Structure 1
Amino acid sequence: MTVPPPILRHSRKGLYTPLLIALAVLVAWTGWWFYLTHQIESGIEARAVEMRAAGWEIGHGRITTTGWPFRTRIAVAYPTVTAPDGRAVSAPSLIAEASTYNPDKWVLIAPKGLVLTRADHSKMAVRGQALRMSVSHLKARFPDLRIQLDQPVFTPHPGAEPFPILRAGQLQIEARPHLVDGAATSADVDVLFRLTDARARPGSLLDGLAVQGPVEGWIETTIAGADHLRGRAILGDLETWADAGGRFTAVRGELKAGVSTATLSSDVLTIDTNGRLQGTVALIADKPLPALAGLARSGVTGVDRAAAAGAATATALTGETSAINLPLVFRDGRTWVGPFALSPAPKLF
């Protein structure tokens, strides 16, 4: 008689072990996600308390946190940040998002546009296909900052001073620590501003220069002494920075206005006590006559049309039809081309 083999009973622990490990990882990750979001919310509130103590006004509606498990997404309804001098930024909603596993890089989006309150308390709405800002390397002395506005449209509120740009294809601003031999310096920041396919507002200074054509260009510089701007939130204290010897170095750029093109450079530009630029910019202009003639015909307040006409005539008398050296000098609060004071120098504060 044949004896049947014994029945082998396999343990089912091997089946449950992977599930238990996955469950433990999920629980730990969920705990980390809630801890991270709590830390972020606490940090936002602590920063708001510091700014209120310094004279800022911070307001907002409901704050919601979503994105579990791989994203941390904070939505703020009706945020408003007002500086002590009255300048402000507000929006119907603001969304900040980061990867849960890498919370050192954040992307901020204003899906319904922004409203900017300028120093004269006038308001301007900014809308576009996409309005976003990214901030990374938050633990560094100066984080990397990138602002990108796609198809922005600038609309002043009733009674507000018109913004010189009506709309643009894209506007970019980048700021990052200045590097020397591959290492970041302690007090300098590199800044890049780029504008593409912009249309000047009719009657503005840019409209006169562009003769109703497109405007685009870029400019880069190093902000020396940026430590005096660090920690001053959105608008910065430019006056304190200027009083401490702040200046713009290694200024380089290019501007296209209608058919006129100019490349510019300057080793250093400073700020006077009235907040206006001072210094010399080397300008190599290609076909500058249409721009100067358009400026002379413009009705912009503050522009010396007779001086612009004189500069245009002097340019025409040189007999040059292409590129010429046309240095700009900012002094005494004015912008000079040779002996001609065309307009007020750019004002920063």
Structure 2
Amino acid sequence: MPKDISSTEPASRPLGQKLLFLGTGSLTILVTFAVAYWFWAAHQMETGLTHWVEKQRTRGFEITHGTLSLDGFPFVVRAILEKPRIVSPDGWWWQTQSLSAEATPWSPLSMQLDLSKDHLIDGLPHNQPSINIVSNLAKSTAQISLEGELLNARLQADGLIITRESHHPLSITTLDTTLGPLRPATAESPLQEFNILIKAQDINHPELKKTPLGGPISQLNLDGTLYGIVPKDKIRKSLHIWRDTGGFLALHDASMRWGPLLIDARGKVALDNRLRPLGKLESRIEGADEVVSQLEKNGLINKGQSFGIKLSLAALGRTNSRGRHEIEAPLVMRDGWLSVGPITLFKLPPLAK
């Protein structure tokens, strides 16, 4: 006699329906949570950016822009700002066509910005010509607080070209700049600290070809920490206050390779009463004798001057393991002049007029 299984069918249907309802309900809750979380993250990003704009306005900057739109659901939060324009307290202004910032929903205040559009800087003091900046690729990563404070930022650009009206363009093959983080003053360290890291390769300008070293500057690196409270005011006033409150730049490692010349330096730099660089850097200079030979070859110094300078360099330095002349001597910035050891090199202009 065949087994009667009809009695089990009614029991299996409610169980299947329960599993189906449970799965559908869980999926609905998950989707609802994902949507709510994305909108929460978008609101966090919008709030942080809005507070950043408000802070700049309280510091004297005028900021205008077109529409701000948010999209990218569900995997990214993307903010697109049309026609942003910033006017500084000093009167100069910057603008571009649009800016886009992206972040992950779980870290909406750590953003990546696309800066590959053309940028214009104008309204510069003394009727200086406007500056146009273009690049093959330019991106920045920035982290802000919910209150709108910039915590740190990094700019990376390839094929950077900076032009001014009636001037030759300045080109930089690669640029990598990191600013921050900002560490507040404490009882143990009464000055704010702000890290600066700059790496640039192949800096070229037609005027460099007229120098004894020819150009381009193949490498420029700077790793330092800015100490001191920098007021959010006009540049000249801010520099005066920064200097008067004990501000200085500590260079942990600064280097430049330009033709035969290689310079490594470290030390502290402040500002004098005319806002000119003031300080002393311990430095290692390689190839200075070759630079003197170029000066003589180009007719900028005569043979007697060349011989005297090379004699001084020989007394200061030695031949290193690579067979090149090397000097370990202080770079001194004082009274508006830069000197290496006892040799005065050139005049130093003020950072602001």
Q: State the TM-score, normalizing by the size of structure 2.
A: 0.78
Counterpart selection for 1:111 from 110, 113, 116 = 116
- Map 1:1-349 onto structure 2 (within 5 A): 4=4, 5-6=6-7, 8-9=9-10, 10-11=13-14, 12-117=17-122, 118-120=124-126, 121-136=128-143, 138=145, 143-156=151-164, 158-159=165-166, 166-177=170-181, 187-196=192-201, 198-204=202-208, 208=211, 210-225=213-228, 227-228=229-230, 237-266=238-267, 268-291=268-291, 313-315=308-310, 318-319=313-314, 322-338=325-341, 340-345=343-348, 347-349=350-352
Cα distance, 1:131–1:334 mapped onto 2, change above 3 Å: same
Structure with larger Rg: 2
Q: Indicate if the aligned counterparts of 1:289 and 1:312 stay in contact, CA closer than 8 A.
A: no
Question: CA 1:135 to 1:292, structure 2 compared with 1: closer, same or farther past 3 Å?
Answer: farther
> What is the Cα deviation at residue 39 of structure 1?
4.1
Counterpart Cα distance in 1 of 2:212 and 2:285: 12
One-letter amino acid of the structure 1 residue matched with residue 326 of structure 2:
A
Whole-angstrom distance in 1 between the partners of 2:306 and 2:225 = 31
Per-residue CA distance 1:169-217 (angstroms, 9 max, x = gap) = 21111233489xxxx9772222211112x1331224x962632344212
Distance 1:2 1:280, change over 3 A: closer
**Structure 1 stretches lacking a partner, 5+ long:** 299-304
- SS of the aligned residue for 1:8 comes to helix
CA 1:194–1:294 in structure 2 vs 1: closer, same or farther (change >3 Å)? farther
Shift of 1:288: 1.4
Q: Check 1:329–1:90 CA distance in 2 against 1; reply closer, same or farther (3 A cut).
A: same
Deviation sequence 1:29-83 (CA, Å, 0-9, x none): 2123223323433443343344334321112222221111121111112211121
Amino acid at match of 2:280: T
Change (3 A) 1:50 1:264: closer
1: distance between equivalents of 2:204 and 2:259? 10
TM-score (norm 1): 0.79
SS, match of residue 28 in structure 2: helix
Q: Do the aligned partners of 1:87 and 1:116 also contact (CA within 8 Å) in 2? A: yes
Tell me how far apart the structure 1 counterparts of residues 347 and 129 of structure 2 sit (CA, whole Å): 20
1:271, 1:105 → 2: CA distance? 34
Cα deviations across residues 95-150 of structure 1 (Å, max 9, x unaligned)? 11110111231111112132334555532222222212112374799723211112
For 1:170 and 1:235, the matched residues in 2 are separated by 30
CA change 1:316–1:142 in 2 (3 A) is farther
| Residue of structure 1 equivalent to 2:321 | none
Measure the CA separation in 1 of the matches of 2:215 and 2:70: 46
Instruction: Please say if residues 113 and 131 of structure 1, whose CA atoms lie closer than 8 Å, have aligned partners that are also in contact.
Output: no
Q: Secondary structure at the match of 1:55?
A: coil
Q: For the residues of structure 2 that align with 1:272 and 1:19, how far apart are their CA atoms?
A: 72
Deviation, structure 1 residue 168: 2.1
The change in CA–CA distance for 1:69 and 1:3 in structure 2 (over 3 A counts) is closer
Unaligned runs of 5+ in 2: 319-323
SS at match of 1:274: coil
CA distance in structure 2 between the aligned counterparts of 1:317 and 1:114, rounded to whole angstroms: 47
| Code of the aligned partner of 1:193 | I
Cα distance change on mapping 1:253 and 1:18 into 2, 3 Å: same
Give the whole-Å Cα distance in 1 for the aligned partners of 2:98 and 2:296. Answer: 43
CA shift for structure 1 position 260: 1.5
Q: CA 1:35 to 1:23, structure 2 compared with 1: closer, same or farther past 3 Å?
A: same
Amino acid at match of 1:33: W
Cα gap change, 1:339 to 1:234, in 2 (>3 Å):
closer
Higher helix share: 2
Cα offset, 1:233, TM superposition: 12
> Which whole-Å CA distance do the structure 1 matches of 2:331 and 2:114 have between them?
38
- 1:174 partner amino acid: T
**In structure 2, what is the Cα distance between the partners aligned to 1:63 and 1:100?**
18
| AA matched with 1:172 | D
